[in-house]
Structure 1
Amino acid sequence: MGIWSNAFKLPEHAEVNDQERALLLALAQKVRGRNMALAVSLAMESSRPLHNLGAQALVFLMPLLSQVFGIEEAEKAVKLLENPKAVDFFLKELNAASPNGANHVK
């Protein structure tokens, strides 16, 4: 039975590195600056099962995106969308603005 114990095992996702952390922190600050944290958090949480599909759509559009943003930036976006730990880090930072986790409208 040794062959079947590892047959359907998914690879472990990588931890978020410092460069990705800085990018996600900057993105979270921009979203909070526009008072869109609650809407973005809702959209990210509700589409969580589709993040891999979105990453594959970005791979499909890579020739176009690489012309607009550069190949490195497009590959970073794909890598971040595929990593649930990166999405969790982004949502945690996005909701860290207020004590109850949501931004209040002034």
Structure 2
Amino acid sequence: MGIWDNAFKIPVPPEPTPEEKRMLDILAQKARKRSLGDVASFAVESTRPLHNLGAQGISFIEPLLVLIFNKEEVRKYTALLENSKAVSYLVDRLSNAPVEKEDLNVKKRP
């Protein structure tokens, strides 16, 4: 069975690097600051099968995004979107991020 050992094997995505984790932490912190952590977590988790398609879409509109964002930054986020372990890390950070002091002072509606 030597030739068939790896025929249908799906490659395991790499763990996010510390730099990628820092980028995802910043993204999660910005979402949590706007009280969108749970909504963003739900949106990212529910569209998990479409992440590769979304990454290809970002690659398609990259010339437009470069007008607003740094080219390297766009490519890094595209690569992160294709990595399922990085997406899992982002969902974890969105749903389990520590509550900041500013969040404690917010008055809740009745």
User: Does TM, scored on the shorter chain, surpass 0.5?
Assistant: yes
Q: Distance in 1 between matches of 2:4 and 2:79?
A: 29
User: Which has the higher mean CA deviation after the structures are superposed, 69-78 or 42-51?
Assistant: 69-78
Query: 1:36 — aligned with what?
Result: 36
Q: Distance in 1 between matches of 2:43 and 2:52?
A: 15
In the TM superposition, structure 1's runs of 4+ consecutive aligned residues that sit over 4 Å from their partners are: none
The offset of 1:5, in angstroms, is 1.7
* CA distance 1:31–1:6, shift in 2 (3 Å): same
The offset of 1:20, in angstroms, is 0.7
The offset of 1:98, in angstroms, is 6.4
User: Which amino acid is 2:78 matched to?
Assistant: V
Structure 1: gaps spanning 5 or more residues: 100-104
Question: Aligned pair 1:73/2:73, yes or no?
Answer: yes
Which entry has the higher C-alpha Rg, 1 or 2?
Answer: 2
Secondary structure of the structure 2 residue equivalent to 1:35: coil
The offset of 1:62, in angstroms, is 2.1
Deviations, residues 53-87 of structure 1 (Å, cap 9, x unaligned): 10011111222223331220111111110001111
Query: 2:87 — aligned with what?
Result: 87
User: Which has the higher mean CA deviation after the structures are superposed, 55-64 or 74-83?
Assistant: 55-64
TM-score (norm 2): 0.82
TM-score (norm 1): 0.85
Aligned length: 102
